Amino acid sequence: MSVIEQPAPAFSGRQALALVWALAAALLAWLFFAVWPSWLDSILISKKAFINSIFNGATLAGLYFLVASGFTLVFGLMRNVNLAHGSLYLLGAYLGYEVSQRTGVWILGVLVGFLALAIVGLLMQVFIFRRLEGDELRQTLVTLGISIVAADLMLAVWTGITYQIGVPAWLDGAVRLPIITTVRANGTPVMMTYPLYRLVVLGVAIVIGAGLWLMMNRTRIGTIIRAGVDDRAMLSASGVNVHVVFAVVFAIGAGLAGFAGVVGGTALSLAPGEDVRYLLASLVVVIVGGMGSIPGAAIGALLVGLAEQLGLVYMPTYGIVLTFIIMVATLALRPQGIMGRVRPAGAAILALDRPALAVPPELGIWQIVLAVALLLYPLVASEFFLTQIGAYSLIWGLLALSMMLLAGYGGMVSLAQITSAGVAAYTIAIFGTNNIHVHGFGWPWWVLVPFAVLLAAAASAVIGAISVRTEGIYTIMITLAIAAAFFYFAQQNYTLFNGHFGYAGIPSPEVAGINWRAPIPFYYLCLFVAAACYAAVLYCSRSTFGLALQGIRDNGRRMRAVGFDITVHKVVTYFYSGIIAGLAGVLLVWFNGRVSPGTIDVGQAIEVLVIAVIGGLRHPIGPFVGAVFVILIQTFAIDIVGAERFNTLIGLLFLSIVLTSPDGLLGLWGRIRPLLAQQSLRSPQPGAAALGAQTQSTQGRME
């Protein structure tokens, strides 16, 4: 039997890919070193602008990599999303600034920034994360509380002044590169110059990246770390002290954040808010590149850095959108990131992986008393307490309720609820009436409100479609990045959102001659909406859909095996939560009479989470309890700690509740109530002593 040989293909897949890379390299070399024709100059503004943006993007990517490498290194071993990583960056920068200013030795500031933050990271791992080992999301919430406290304390010490670490003389100045930017009329080429320090930052990032990769893949400690990623129990059984490994890796990751802070503070500047900026940059970098992958962090940093700088030059209003598109495209094609590996899902949320939530089957006496008290509250409350405490707490309770619906019943902790509310608020401002004469189409409220809520729900569903491809702590990261992207987009866009000014003079409607922004009508409006949403969430929890959602939260694989479409259920839940958040957004814009990027910034997104966690995520009443608690603290804690240190107080309270009572104030009350009941049973009732004495006397006479 003859064998007919098949002709070999002209190109294999690997050869085709190599050809594509070769052509791309040739094109890039031509763009860098050739003299551009005039038509290309006109398209890309100029060769100098294009090449400068490429170099700026690459050097910014080096700084992002220095920050994100420590972030992804810590997560790669311990599965902990350290939301205090940005605070470590800023603290290292401030310490480096102080040392370099006092000593005049820049390299000493760099060394102190690394060592001091390595020690801080070591202490965090030993005294906090080791005690919460295995509870990933609770660890994440603890780091969030630490970041709130740290940011406020750094503001107290270094105030709001912008600092910059001086570039040392031996790194100052510019170098001439062999790149022709233009040609003068006499034919003389003009060579490109670029700051030496930025090139050094890029070189240091490459060296550190290579060193980390070699450590992880070519050394014994790297083998131990990778073994700890795959099977901690087996590694511990083989005689390796896993806790020591964890502590060392966390110290290195925190030290890299401090090192990057000094380097970044020298290249750019230091100011409050930089911690959030670099935390968000780290989140996007590791989402795109892949958690736990050093090469992935390098690729993600390069993509994000180039997107930011090219967007700044060629599409300044929509530059943040370019970064967001990269993140969404990565999640759509590879949810684990470009170089990431698929990880088993962690716990759903805190300790909420129990079979059922504490939903009472029927109204009790206390629920009826509470309802009557809320209805009669305007009779005894002043206008201040009615609006600033009562109505405002109900609005923030609605926002937290929308998060509770996702987290408590679905195990999805979303930090983008303020984004959905912001969509509704901006819709009211744009299509309704405002006094700054930007847009303001004057739609009637009965058309505008349903339209705004529907847009908010649709935006929430889109966010859900993006984020449901991941679970647990990944959802926190992605939704936080989405919330930040929307904030920056609204801040930079003047065509639709009117930039950082936003919209003001937004009136509430008048119906039947009643101004619904008046204290009493507005309070009852908020109470009605809150009660309706509360009842809807309770009904949902007992419906077939709600029970299926709780089953997905507890065991998604089993629910998928029995025929439930997990993705559809989760996206629909995001849609429902968007309705609640949209209603809260409408009430919020009527309450304030304005909306701006400050309404939807990252701080507001985190405040929703703080309220929900403090109140408790195991029952729909918890968000409202948390809202009342936080609003009261916001209002009256000024007399105790002052307005400047309010965030420290809130952060400490948040930390205390997360560490002692994962179910919030409701969970704390649930543990205290049985103890009080036992104490009441043990204490003698009135007349009991006399009755006991009479009984003993009677028994004595009978004897």
Q: Is the pLDDT of residue 427 over 60?
A: yes
Q: How far apart are CA 60 and CA 293, in angstroms?
A: 19
DSSP per-residue string spanning 636-686: HTHHHH-GGGHHHHHHHHHHHHHHH-TTHHHHHHHHHHHHHHHHHHHSPPT
Q: What mean pLDDT comes out for the span 599-623?
A: 91
Select the more confidently predicted residue: 542 or 453: 453
Instruction: Give 68's pLDDT tier (boundaries 50, 70, 90).
Output: very high
* Shared domain check, 389 and 245: no
Does a structural domain hold residue 573? Answer: yes
Q: Is the pLDDT of residue 686 over 80?
A: no
Does a structural domain hold residue 482? Answer: yes
Instruction: Give 612's pLDDT tier (boundaries 50, 70, 90).
Output: very high
Q: How far apart are CA 669 and CA 474, in angstroms?
A: 31
Residue 495: partners with Cβ closer than 8 Å, 6 or more residues away: 317
Q: Looking at residue 683, what is its pLDDT?
A: 58
Structure tokens at 162: 């912008």
Q: Are 132 and 138 in contact (CB under 8 A)?
A: yes
Does a structural domain hold residue 108? Answer: yes
Give residue-wise pLDDT tens across range 668-679: 877 777 776 666
* Shared domain check, 263 and 115: yes
Give residue-wise pLDDT tens across range 495-543: 899 988 999 999 999 888 888 889 999 999 999 999 999 999 999 988 9
User: Number of folded domains in the chain?
Assistant: 2
Q: How far apart are CA 76 and CA 225, in angstroms?
A: 9
Q: How far apart are CA 47 and CA 44, in angstroms?
A: 7
Measured CA to CA in angstroms, residue 524 lies from 36, 395, 511, 535 at distances of: 67, 12, 14, 16
Around 625, how many Cα atoms within 13 Å sit in the side-chain half-sphere? 19
Q: Is the pLDDT of residue 447 over 50?
A: yes
Q: How far apart are CA 205 and CA 182, in angstroms?
A: 30
Measured CA to CA in angstroms, residue 364 lies from 360, 618, 622, 678 at distances of: 8, 18, 17, 21
Does a structural domain hold residue 140? Answer: yes
Does a structural domain hold residue 251? Answer: yes
Give the end of a domain, one of 556, 581, 600: 600
Instruction: Give 11's pLDDT tier (boundaries 50, 70, 90).
Output: low
Q: What mean pLDDT comes out for the span 193-203?
A: 94
Pairing relation of β-strands 514-515 and 510-511?
antiparallel
Q: Are 433 and 503 in contact (CB under 8 A)?
A: no
In the numeric block, the tokens 């997560």 are attached to 75
Q: Looking at residue 703, what is its pLDDT?
A: 42
pTM of the model: 0.86
* Shared domain check, 559 and 415: yes
* Shared domain check, 392 and 536: yes
Q: Looking at residue 348, what is its pLDDT?
A: 43
Give the end of a domain, one of 600, 615, 635: 600
The three-class DSSP label of residue 426 is helix
In the numeric block, the tokens 């926002």 are attached to 399
Give residue-wise pLDDT tens across range 222-276: 888 777 766 777 878 888 888 888 888 899 999 999 999 999 999 888 998 898 8
* Shared domain check, 393 and 262: no
Summary count for the chain: helices (H), strands (E): 29, 6
Amino acid at site 444: P
Which residues are bridge partners to 514 per DSSP?
A: 511
The CA-to-CA distance between both ends of the chain, in Å, stands at 117
Residue 433: partners with Cβ closer than 8 Å, 6 or more residues away: 440, 442, 505, 506, 507
Q: Are 345 and 556 in contact (CB under 8 A)?
A: yes
What's the burial of 352, exposed, middle or buried (CB within 10 Å: 0-12/13-18/19+)? buried
Q: Are 452 and 585 in contact (CB under 8 A)?
A: yes
Which of the residue ranges 36-45, 144-153, 449-458, 534-543 would you say has the lowest mean pLDDT? 36-45
User: Which region holds residue 104: left if phi is over 0, alpha if psi is between -120 and 50, else beta?
Assistant: left
Mean pLDDT of the residues in the chain? 85
Q: How many residues does the chain have?
A: 703
Which of the residue ranges 370-379, 464-473, 623-632 would you say has the lowest mean pLDDT? 464-473
DSSP state for residue 497 in the 8-state scheme: S
Q: How far apart are CA 348 and CA 553, in angstroms?
A: 7
Q: Are 560 and 551 in contact (CB under 8 A)?
A: no
66: nearest Cα among 168, 211, 215, 175: 211
Q: Is the pLDDT of residue 97 over 90?
A: yes
Give residue-wise pLDDT tens across range 285-323: 988 988 778 899 999 999 999 999 998 888 887 777 788
Which residues are bridge partners to 515 per DSSP?
A: 510
Q: Looking at residue 697, what is its pLDDT?
A: 46
The three-class DSSP label of residue 449 is helix
570: nearest Cα among 434, 469, 429, 501: 469
Q: How far apart are CA 212 and CA 221, in angstroms?
A: 11
612: nearest Cα among 347, 361, 368, 418: 418
Q: Are 409 and 553 in contact (CB under 8 A)?
A: yes
Give the end of a domain, one of 576, 600, 624: 600
Range of the domain at 479: 385-600
Q: How far apart are CA 648 and CA 559, in angstroms?
A: 42
Q: How far apart are CA 336 and CA 345, in angstroms?
A: 12
Give residue-wise pLDDT tens across range 144-183: 899 999 999 999 899 888 999 999 989 998 999 888 888 7
Residue 283: partners with Cβ closer than 8 Å, 6 or more residues away: 477, 480, 481
Give residue-wise pLDDT tens across range 208-223: 999 999 988 888 888 8
Measured CA to CA in angstroms, residue 421 lies from 153, 229, 396, 463 at distances of: 30, 39, 11, 13
Does a structural domain hold residue 137? Answer: yes
192: nearest Cα among 386, 378, 50, 403: 50
Measured CA to CA in angstroms, residue 203 lies from 218, 382, 467 at distances of: 21, 63, 35
Does a structural domain hold residue 642? Answer: no
Does a structural domain hold residue 359? Answer: no
DSSP per-residue string spanning 321-356: HHHHHHHHHHHHH-TT-SS--------SSTT--SSS
Q: Are 283 and 329 in contact (CB under 8 A)?
A: no
Q: Is the pLDDT of residue 641 over 80?
A: no
Which residues are bridge partners to 504 per DSSP?
A: 594
Give residue-wise pLDDT tens across range 647-662: 888 888 888 888 888 7
Instruction: Give 96's pLDDT tier (boundaries 50, 70, 90).
Output: very high
Q: How far apart are CA 700 and CA 255, in angstroms?
A: 79
Calculate what percentage of the chain has a pLDDT beyond 70. 89
